[in-house]
C-alpha cells in the first residue's frame, strides 16, 4: 500500500536538492534532469551542471539567514516547489574512547539541525500536494560501532520524518524517508572498514526515484543489506550486541 501519491510523470516537476555537490545529491540531480524535472541544487559551494533545466543556489543549511536568502531566490525564480530533498549531511567515524566534542557538535548541526532548518524554510515554498524527502540512513536503526554521533543524528531524522508524515500527510503533502545502506561517496570513504553491499551514487539515486515513483514512505536500499538491518531492529539486546560484536569484530 502506497502511503504517498505515486509520481507518474517527472516532467516539469520543480525539485530542490540540498547537499547536491557530490554523492547521492549530485547523482539525483543528474538523473532527475534526465527524466524531465527542473532541478534546483544547493550546497555550500558553487555547482556547475550544464543543463538548461538546472538552477543553483549556494547556501549553508545550518545557517537560517543563508537558507532564508536561498528561499527568497527560489521563490522569485520558480514560485513554488513540487519536491524538496533534504540531503545535506556529513559523516565522521567516532568511538566512545575518542569523542571529539567539537566534531560531534558539527555533525549534529549539519545532519539534524540543518535538515530541520531546510524543512522549516522549504515548507513555505511547497505546493499543496508537494513532497518532502529526508535522507537519513540505516545507521539510524540501531547503535553501530564507529557510528556514535552519526548514527544518533540519523536515528533522530528517522523519528523526525515519521512525525513529519503524521503532521503533513493529512494536509495533502507527501513525505519520504530515505534510508540508504553503504553508498560510495567522499563521506563513506572515511570508514575504516570494508562496507558490505556497497553501491554507487547512481544506483542509490535510481532506487530513490523508483521509491518515490511508487509512492513509498520508507525507501531503503540495497535490499540485500537493508532487509537484514531491519531484521536486527527486532532482536533483543543480548542477541543484537553479540551479533554486532561477532560480525564486526569491534
The domain limits of the chain are 14-248
How far apart, in whole angstroms, are the C-alpha atoms of residue 114 and residue 157?
A: 11
Q: Per CATH, which fold does 14-248 belong to? A: Rossmann fold (3.40.50)
Which residues does 244 contact at the CB level (< 8 Å), separation at least 6?
144, 145, 232, 250
User: Could you list the active site residues?
Assistant: 150
CA dihedral 43, 81, 131, 233 (to 10 degrees): 0
Question: pLDDT band at 189, cuts 50/70/90?
Answer: confident
Widest pairwise Cα distance in the chain: 55
- Look at 31-35, 83-87, 186-190, 218-222 and tell me which has the smallest mean pLDDT: 186-190
Q: What is the pTM of this model?
A: 0.94
Is residue 137's pLDDT more than 80?
yes
Nearest to 222, CA basis, from 97, 106, 125, 138? 138
**Lowest-confidence range among 42-51, 152-161, 165-174, 229-238?**
42-51
Average pLDDT, the chain: 94
pLDDT number for residue 233:
93
Amino acid at each position: 500500500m502506497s502511503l504517498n501519491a505515486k509520481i507518474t510523470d517527472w516532467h516539469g516537476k520543480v525539485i530542490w536538492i540540498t547537499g547536491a555537490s557530490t554523492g547521492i545529491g549530485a547523482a539525483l540531480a543528474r538523473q532527475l534532469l534526465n527524466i524531465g524535472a527542473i532541478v534546483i541544487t544547493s550546497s555550500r559551494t558553487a555547482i556547475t551542471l550544464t543543463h538548461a533545466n538546472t538552477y543553483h543556489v549556494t547556501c549553508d543549511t545550518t545557517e537560517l539567514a543563508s537558507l532564508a536568502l536561498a528561499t527568497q531566490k527560489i521563490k522569485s525564480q520558480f514560485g513554488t516547489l513540487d519536491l524538496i530533498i533534504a540531503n545535506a549531511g556529513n559523516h565522521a567515524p567516532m568511538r566512545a574512547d575518542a569523542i571529539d566534542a567539537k566534531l560531534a557538535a558539527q555533525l549534529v548541526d549539519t545532519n539534524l539541525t540543518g535538515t530541520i532548518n531546510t524543512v522549516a524554510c522549504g515548507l513555505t515554498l511547497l505546493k499543496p500536494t508537494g513532497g518532502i524527502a529526508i535522507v537519513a540512513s540505516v545507521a539510524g536503526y540501531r547503535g553501530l560501532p564507529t557510528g556514535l554521533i552519526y548514527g544518533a543524528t540519523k536515528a533522530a531524522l528517522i523519528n523526525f520524518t515519521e512525525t513529519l508524515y503524521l503532521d503533513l500527510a493529512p494536509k495533502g503533502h507527501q513525505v519520504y524517508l530515505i534510508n540508504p545502506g553503504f553508498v560510495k561517496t567522499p563521506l563513506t570513504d572515511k570508514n575504516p572498514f570494508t562496507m558490505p553491499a556497497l553501491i554507487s551514487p547512481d544506483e542509490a539515486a535510481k532506487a530513490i526515484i523508483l521509491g518515490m515513483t511508487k509512492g513509498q514512505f520508507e525507501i531503503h536500499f540495497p535490499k540485500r543489506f537493508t532487509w537484514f538491518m531491519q531484521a536486527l531492529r527486532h532482536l533483543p539486546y543480548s542477541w543484537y550486541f553479540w551479533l554486532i560484536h561477532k560480525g564486526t569484530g569491534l
